[in-house]
Structure 1
Amino acid sequence: MKSTARVKDAPRNQEWLLTLLPIFPLVLLVMRLWYASRQDTQTLLLLLQNISPLGLLSAVLLTTLWVLPALILGGRVLGTLYWISTGRSSWLVRAAERLPGWVVALAVVVGLFTWQLRFLPTLAMLSLTVLGLTVRDRFPRNEGLWAVVCYALPVTVAVLSYIVLWPAIGTAFAAHDVATSLLLTLPQGLAVLLTGPVPRVPARGLTHGIAAAMAVLTPFLVGAVVMKAPILPLMALQLSEDERPRVLVGYLVASDDQMSTVLGRDGVVSFVRNDRLESKVLCPDFGEVPRTWANLYGWYVEQSVVSWLAPAPPPTPVDPRCQGRPKD
């Protein structure tokens, strides 16, 4: 059946959906500032007055870089799987059909560079599943090509993946890290089982249920990541006092010739006169504490390809002022 048969009954006059696209990022930005202000309206207005929108948009864009590949590949897999299993069209099939091949390929490349090491087997599983289902759809009578793409290729990739990832897999099992162990071992082994149709009766509930769950949970996942993204530089200011110096650690909101405005990590806003300022230092962003030390030749499973390949800064001792202690 030609691909046009799948999209001929596509609904029209849905351009109004495009107007909703800017709303979600704007809501995330406002919620991020609301979270940083500890739900205080006056602090929120102060942040809105001084924070650059580019800093807020960068957090949303960086999050989108790793969310979009999952949505594109997941939608393509579910839509094509439902089509070859039932031969019937639906909104999911139409959405998958409207994703060009170059968009899917670009999603794989973006995911390869932005996803963490522990998620790369899942990326390989999705990529092989998309390829296998596409071959079954485009070449319905070429069983020889099916055998190569749908069976031989996933098995080969799985074997090579286990060989390459074995040091990280062994470390994860030795550390009793169940989640990382499953992420490094299961996806590539399941790829060979996902390149064929599913029974016709549960196909709609399975594919459309997963797609609906993705649509509902993705905004909450993106929001949770953006809520923790830094939007202001973390500074340590050493202030002169009558008896001994005092260190104020917080996020620098604004600074001019006379006054510096600092948002403390407890949500309290402090206005510091510059004549009391002895010194200040930019504190490092420690980020999240690693949940596991499993690594592949120094490439930790919580690192992406980009962060692993980027030159690491030389190790320097932590300034005592960043820990709230005055520096002599």
Structure 2
Amino acid sequence: MKTDRGREDDAREGDGRNDPPAGRVRRVKDAPRNQEWLLTLLPAFPLVLLVMRLWYASRQDTQTLLLLVQTISPLGLLSAVLLTTVWVLPALVLGGRLLGTLHWLSTGRSSWLVRAAERLPGWVVVLSVVVGLCTWQLRFLPTLAMMSLAVAGLTVRDRYPGHEGLRAVVCYALPVAVAVLSYVLLWPAVVAAFTARDVATAILLTLPPGLGVLLTGPVPGASAGVLTHGIAIGMSVITPFLVGVVVMKAPILPLIALQIEEREAQEVVVGYLVASDDQMSTVLGREGAVRFISNDRIRSRVLCPDPGEVPRTWVNLHGWYVEQSVLSWLAPTAQPEPVDQRCQGRAVDDPVSG
């Protein structure tokens, strides 16, 4: 009976038609085992984000933190975290598959990055592309197309090394066609970005389609290990901090303005509504102070817009702004209304209860 080493040598000497490639055997053989404990860490990261978000909202005050934990629904917090971080998953899946396959084709050696790429099923990669297409902003869609084409080209090179026609179509013809089509469709937005001197948006719209043609093949083996593992480690380190910063700024409570009577004077309290019942309304001010206001003193209340929704650039493609995703562009939106004076801290003479 042949040992594993002997079977690996036979696979290396085969003609490639019936026997599995040597790399495929080596990658399966080198795969680590008994790492199911890593799955227990998956719920920990969202939980830490939820606690840190409440700690940030309470301005590091323990009593305010306990009040928020008691009154805020965990489902609402989890929804805010999921909606904020859903755009990260396609980047991690496509990036891991791209870097792992690129390392294997360039060096022929296995590593933790190659094993991670092998454990990503094809349907997960396709689903990640669909999620990214729906949730990523317009200015990031060329990057999504670049990564998707690179993954497709490298996968064809890895799994079908003898199909020259298929490799020519997927690795060369398709990226060129997508690049030309992208420049034609995005040309109005590219011109608007350069006109508005929005350098970041202009680079995101012009650079990825051209790079997609260059990322469907291996790189020199001497630099492949440092390049792929360096990018992967950088993504692993930066992504949690980036997600944390975004979640820290995500709204978890409705922003309202209450106009109240204060000794024959009118005062407007702008803050986040923590709780409200028949007698009292609890409001968390922007500075972190909690106020308990009797409902008898409230003359009116109004829901204020989220300050974080103000666009940073007005570059658009036929009304589709570069900071909008496909879902937000296609979904019906309310007509914009003038900002109420009470949301700016100014009282009105004849308030209408909202």
By the TM > 0.5 criterion, same fold? yes
Shift of 1:5: 3.2
Match of 2:136 in 1: 115
1:226-251 C-alpha deviation (Å, 9 max, x unpaired)? 00000001111110122321111100
* 2:260 aligned with 1:269: no
2:65 pairs with 1:44: yes
Q: Any gaps of 5 or more consecutive residues in structure 1?
A: none
Question: C-alpha offsets along residues 117-148 of structure 1, whole Å, 9 cap, x if unaligned?
Answer: 00000000000000100111111122222221
Deviation per residue, 1:237-267 (Å, 9 max, x gap)? 1101223211111001111121111000111
Query: In the alignment, does 2:190 pair up with 1:190?
Result: no
Note the alpha carbon deviations across 1:173-229, whole angstroms, 9 max, x for none. 011111100000000100110100011111111111111111111110110010000
Q: Which amino acid aligns with 1:107?
A: S
Equivalenced residues, count: 328
For the aligned residue pairs, the C-alpha RMSD in angstroms reads 1.1
Residue identity in the other structure for 1:100: P
Aligned counterpart, 1:177: 198
1:256 corresponding residue in structure 2: 277
For residue 227 of structure 1, the aligned residue among 236, 242, 248 is 248
Residue in structure 2 matching 1:93, options 92, 114, 121: 114
Structure 1 distance, partners of 2:28, 2:321, is 44
Aligned residue in 2 for 1:153: 174
Instruction: Name the aligned partner's letter for residue 67 of structure 1.
Output: V
2:134 counterpart of 1:129: no
Match of 1:306 in 2: 327
Match of residue 77 from structure 1: 98
Distance, in Å, in 2 between the alignment partners of 1:163 and 1:12 is: 49
User: Which amino acid letter does the alignment assign opposite residue 274 of structure 2?
Assistant: V
Are residue 323 (structure 1) and residue 344 (structure 2) matched?
yes
Cα distance in 2 between the residues matched to 1:152 and 1:228: 43
| Partner SS state of residue 281, structure 1 | strand
Distance 1:206 1:128 in 2: 19
* Structure 1 residue 62 displacement after superposition: 1.1
- 77, 81, 88: which is aligned to 1:56? 77
| Matched position secondary structure for 1:249 | strand
Partner of 2:267: 246
1:109 Cα deviation after fit: 0.3
Match status 1:294 vs 2:292: no
Say whether residues 1:214 and 2:235 are aligned partners: yes
User: Is 1:205 equivalent to 2:213 in the alignment?
Assistant: no
Q: Measure, in 2, the Cα distance between the counterparts of 1:284 and 1:179.
A: 27
8 Å CA contact retained: 2:84, 2:250? no
Distance in 1, matches of 2:336 and 2:192, equals: 25
Matched, 1:168 2:189: yes
Q: Which has the higher contact order (CA 8 A, sep 6+)?
A: 1
Q: Which of the pair has more CA radius of gyration? A: 2
Question: Which of 10-19 and 111-120 deviates more?
Answer: 10-19
Q: Distance in 2 between matches of 1:290 and 1:316?
A: 16
Question: Deviation per CA, 1:151-193, whole angstroms, max 9, x where unpaired?
Answer: 1110110000000000000000011111100000000100110
Distance, in Å, in 2 between the alignment partners of 1:284 and 1:290 is 13
CA distance in 2, matches of 1:4, 1:95: 15
The worse-fitting range, judged by mean Cα deviation, of 160-169 and 56-65 is 56-65
TM-score calculated relative to the size of structure 1:
0.97
Aligned-partner SS, 1:263: strand
Question: Partners in 2 of 1:84 and 1:197 — Cα distance?
Answer: 6
Q: Distance in 1 between matches of 2:246 and 2:312?
A: 16
Q: Which amino acid aligns with 1:21?
A: L
* Matched AA of 1:178: V
Identical residues among aligned pairs (%):
78
- Cα separation, 2, equivalents of 1:7 and 1:293: 50
Q: Is 1:31 aligned with 2:31?
A: no
Secondary structure at the counterpart of residue 213 of structure 2: helix
Q: Which amino acid aligns with 1:190?
A: L
Q: What one-letter code is carried by the residue in structure 2 that aligns with 1:164?
A: L
TM-score, scaled to structure 2 = 0.90
CA distance in 2, matches of 1:153, 1:66: 25
How far off its partner does 1:4 sit?
A: 4.2
Q: Which segment drifts farther, 235-244 or 76-85? A: 235-244
